[in-house]
Amino acid sequence: MAGHFPVLDGVRGLAILLVLLHNFNLGGPIDTALTKVVDVGLEIGWVGVQLFFVLSGFLITGILVDTKAAPNYYSSFYGRRVLRIFPLYYLVLIMYFVVVPRVVDVPASVRPGQQHQVWLWTYLSNWNVPLGRDLPGFSHFWSLAVEEQFYLVWPLVVQALNAQALLRLCLGLTGAALVLRTGLGLAGADPGFNYQFTLCRMDGLAIGAVVALALRDPDLLRTLRPHLRRAGWALALVMLALVVATRGLPSLGFWTQTVGYTALALLCALLIGQAALATAAGRRMPIVTLLTARPLRTLGKYSYGIYVFQRPLHVWAVSALGPWLVPEAGLHRLPLLAAYLLAATAVTFAAALLSYHLVEEPFLRLKRLFTPQAPAGLPSLPTVSAAIPPPP
């Protein structure tokens, strides 16, 4: 799909940039108005993960719907997902837990994760960390676990349901996630449950799926199109009100975790849908211009490796450079923070660049072996561009 819509690489780039700003924040004293603004701006970068969820729901559902009639529907999907995700993921785990401890003394700050590494190997870390079993250096893998669980189940769901039933299910999942998070919040459960448990975050994936289905249904799209602009402004105002009311939209706050997660997912869905529609129609909207900018598209191309490497590299940097990275009070901490953000981003990007060309790309070339086949009697399967109707 990204081949048809380069703008989606820009969406990935925006998402990973937000994640980096959030995870590379060194913290420290917040004793001036400017440091408060900077800290809030960096911390709110957690929304990049929600953007990734919505984008995944959109892309994966579109792929599955477009290839639903393929005789090799399951083998093509799972084969291509394995080639895209597993090589780098498991290579990093092997290096970190098997090779590195035999070569160097692992810092104490990351050693506890070795006791619970089985949750990483089985893509279940999002159910483990909220229960207090920390995985230093790999706490960010919870979102990869959520997505992998989605990839495992969703092809079965899409194959079993027609478009109308699938749309109703997605709307039901969205409501169920909101109700579940609200119930857990009111019951006083650990906010980590709402943040990482698959069932609590399925509205982002489901809302992304709704966008994919809407773009393939001309009647539904015709009904929704006149309301998209007003809906976008309404959601933007809701999010702005939440940011003000919660003093920065903290990811573990009650209002953020209830209406905030769902409203944010809807806003991300509008961004993705409008960008895809504008690109398909050849319109140069400002959002398309931004998302097709080369820096964002480049970040998007390497976003998987960037996401995998960013947290372990940050943990090791803080462990090795501890005294040098202690932020000072007042405005003096900002130059240190800026320098670290730039350096950490550059090192992470370099690692992702190398991993893409040395590790990921050879496996990606094998995806041709798992190309979805057209059913007998049909010349080809629908393309993404054909699936999106032109503007009325």
DSSP annotation string for 4-49: T-THHHHHHHHHHHHHHHHHT-------SHHHHHHHHHHHGGGHHH
- At residue 64, the 3 state secondary structure works out as helix
- Asked whether the predicted pLDDT for residue 78 surpasses 70, the reply is yes
Question: Using 50, 70 and 90 to split pLDDT, how confident is the model at 392?
Answer: very low
pLDDT for position 87: 97
Question: Using 50, 70 and 90 to split pLDDT, how confident is the model at 203?
Answer: very high
Question: Using 50, 70 and 90 to split pLDDT, how confident is the model at 88?
Answer: very high
Per residue in 121-150, pLDDT (tens digit) is: 999 999 886 676 777 778 899 999 999 999
Give the chain's length: 392
pLDDT for position 332: 67
Mean pLDDT of 62-79: 95
Predicted structure pTM score: 0.92
Question: Using 50, 70 and 90 to split pLDDT, how confident is the model at 351?
Answer: very high
More confident residue, 115 or 241: 241
More confident residue, 251 or 33: 251
Are residues 64 and 155 in contact, defined by beta-carbon separation less than 8 angstroms? yes
Domains in the chain: boundaries: 7-158+272-387
Mean of all residue pLDDT scores within the chain? 88
Half-sphere exposure of 222 (CA within 13 A, CB side): 6
Per residue in 303-350, pLDDT (tens digit) is: 999 999 999 898 888 877 776 776 665 556 788 888 899 999 999 999
pLDDT for position 2: 38
CB burial of 230-240 (b: ≥16 within 10 Å; e: otherwise) equals: eebeebeebbe
